[in-house]
Structure 1
């Protein structure tokens, strides 16, 4: 790697917009790594049958995965400000591929739970890729570039359910984990060959790096609002998607493939990410985040109408709600990232870590609360929970 390929803070400010090839690589890497967090959701009913466990137990698989992700973001993502992000991404891809391979070989539900936690920790390579894209983009195009990478990340999340549902139903859940391990290994090799080195933004020790996150939290009120609002949106997002497959199986008799196909509706919403990035560049991320939170609240509240509709109408409403609320969640996320990346550029990794730690605490809470709501109150309990999350986010955004 030549000296010209090493990114420094000074060079970044003069760097033209990254090539389409690099943006595509970053988007693909973000999508494949983030997808590993969600492959388990459409297969929960299948896993319950395979291990003779009910939803109160299998619900902890996505919960522990999200907890692992939050821990990885808090403890590992800040390292991107101190060491070469390319090396960090490749190292995590190796460990993530190994964890996925182990998951495919697990003979017990307890082992699956433990390895799911490890998958969550290492899947944080997605959150090393996003700050890398921001660092490579000139300021006037940062929202657009980050939005493009987030499209890959979010599409990966949502299409993961489609792929997982289909593979699980026709080839078994072990095959899904094997395919995931292969995809992560391939993206690790591609990132190592294609991306440049990244010069560290700080020489702080690891403990000082972690300690500085508390200072960033206290210093920037916009960061606190963004983290809390996104956490509430992710709570709703996770509560819906982590319970949908079980509800569809119980109420409508749908299998894993059909349940996973509902991810296509969410993927349509994820296409909003570049649009949201451009809107954030022109109208400001504050405006975009408020509109997005309102959209999420309305989309979930619409599902209170389900009992009034025939079965086919119910399915149509669920799909429409998924498109709209995913559009809102992804737009809010891009707006919040655009906002925080401009607060203190040398601390982008830590700022992103704070945002996503709060976000995935919300995700973990959503998985746990959603499964309990479904078990005790049925789908209406999930709708109440998700609607409250959207309303709470809107309140945070408009509160002065």
Structure 2
């Protein structure tokens, strides 16, 4: 038993590192928005399209690639996707115009969806009573990757140029493919379905589980708010406060305070506290945008405090949501994650696009207003739910 637990911890640690390094590919462009505007001589709205294209690609990958995790050897599938991701990142680094940048951005997003094959894979390896903690650990790696991706991108861009950001990311991603092949155990398919039936079954799972539908809504709203902030704050920090790419990248480190919440949230979900956590995190997201919108009075203090609150609440709510949905059906976790994360990143693309339009029309305060509407809608849904809906019976694993 001790040896088995040590082996599990080693695999979970490897998965945390791989997931963190790979998910970074989705976020490298965010602190570089101002620099890329200058490089391609385009507007904030056009750069918003670039950022949204990566998220749209990610959503496409979630819908049509991630379900393969239930009928494939995860190690082989993930290695192939990581190699494809490295190729598309290399294309982004060499793109001569914004049209090719958008095209390679979509491809990068599709291939980077591999992270959401790896997260449920980690959940499958864990005993039911440890599932929340294991998901929390892997998600800590994911959130660390998101956090450090912006810092790394800003530093590399400031010293070597924005193209090197994606070139270095390509080299790291190729390395990740080798790590996955060498370290992860093979996995057996958990669903005896054809690919067509597999994709169709995603819709059946959404129809079957009300809890999944509600968590898709909560997750989408939280990520729309998160994307609205991070897709525009780089432009604000550069134009209003005169920050460099390196400074903007370092700004992202303020989210480190929220990383610890991932494992704590996972453990609290194991104790059946998901309803209270959901409402609390949604409220904090709404409050964060109210604080962010005061920067004309408080200056950078409002931006710092608001960003910390936002990262803290988004990370906590994401772990809460995923810990809950992974417990719904043991043999359909990749497909459940497909449904959840497709909604998540489609909403993220909406958030990025909404913020780009809001910033073009009304500036930073318009972005903060639009960003606050997403969690407020989530709170309205949460208040309308019956507490009985979150009974312990809803969290039992279904064997199919």
With normalisation by structure 2, the TM-score equals: 0.93
Match of 1:285 in 2: 274
Q: Is the 8 A contact 1:70 1:357 kept in 2?
A: yes
Counting matched residue pairs gives 382
Q: How many Å separate the matches in 2 of 1:301 and 1:345?
A: 40
1:32 to 21, 30, 34: 21
Secondary structure of residue in 2 paired with 1:234: helix
Deviation at 1:294, TM superposition (A): 1.4
1:205 to 169, 194, 197: 194
2:174 to 182, 185, 189: 185
Deviation at 1:18, TM superposition (A): 5.1
Match of 1:246 in 2: 235
1:351 to 327, 336, 356: 336
Q: How many Å separate the matches in 2 of 1:297 and 1:17?
A: 41
Q: Is the 8 A contact 2:8 2:125 kept in 1?
A: no
2:107 to 118, 143, 146: 118
More divergent stretch after superposition (110-119 vs 21-30): 21-30
Deviation at 1:17, TM superposition (A): 7.2
Q: Is the 8 A contact 1:65 1:116 kept in 2?
A: yes
Q: How many Å separate the matches in 2 of 1:178 and 1:285?
A: 41
Q: How many Å separate the matches in 1 of 2:226 and 2:249?
A: 15
Q: How many Å separate the matches in 1 of 2:46 and 2:292?
A: 26
Q: Is the 8 A contact 1:16 1:138 kept in 2?
A: no
Asked if 1:228 corresponds to 2:217, the answer is yes
RMSD: 1.3
Q: Is the 8 A contact 2:292 2:305 kept in 1?
A: no
Match of 1:386 in 2: 371
Q: Is the 8 A contact 1:285 1:338 kept in 2?
A: no
Secondary structure of residue in 1 paired with 2:232: helix
Match of 2:390 in 1: none
Report matched runs for 1:1-400 at 5 Å: 16=5, 19-309=8-298, 314-400=299-385
Q: How many Å separate the matches in 2 of 1:326 and 1:393?
A: 17
Runs of 4+ in structure 1 over 6 Å off = none
Q: How many Å separate the matches in 2 of 1:192 and 1:336?
A: 29
Q: How many Å separate the matches in 1 of 2:19 and 2:151?
A: 17
Q: Is the 8 A contact 2:291 2:305 kept in 1?
A: no
Deviation at 1:259, TM superposition (A): 1.2
Deviation at 1:190, TM superposition (A): 0.8
Q: How many Å separate the matches in 2 of 1:143 and 1:18?
A: 18
Q: How many Å separate the matches in 1 of 2:361 and 2:300?
A: 22
Deviation at 1:398, TM superposition (A): 2.9
CA shift in 2, pair 1:294/1:397, >3 Å: same
Deviation at 1:323, TM superposition (A): 1.2
More divergent stretch after superposition (290-299 vs 71-80): 290-299
Q: Is the 8 A contact 2:279 2:382 kept in 1?
A: yes
Deviation at 1:369, TM superposition (A): 0.6
Q: How many Å separate the matches in 1 of 2:368 and 2:24?
A: 24
Q: How many Å separate the matches in 2 of 1:316 and 1:16?
A: 44
Deviation at 1:20, TM superposition (A): 3.0
Which structure 2 residue ranges, 5 or more long, are not aligned? Answer: 386-400
Q: Deviations over 1:324-359 (max 9, x none)?
A: 111111111111111111111100001001110000
Q: How many Å separate the matches in 2 of 1:170 and 1:251?
A: 22
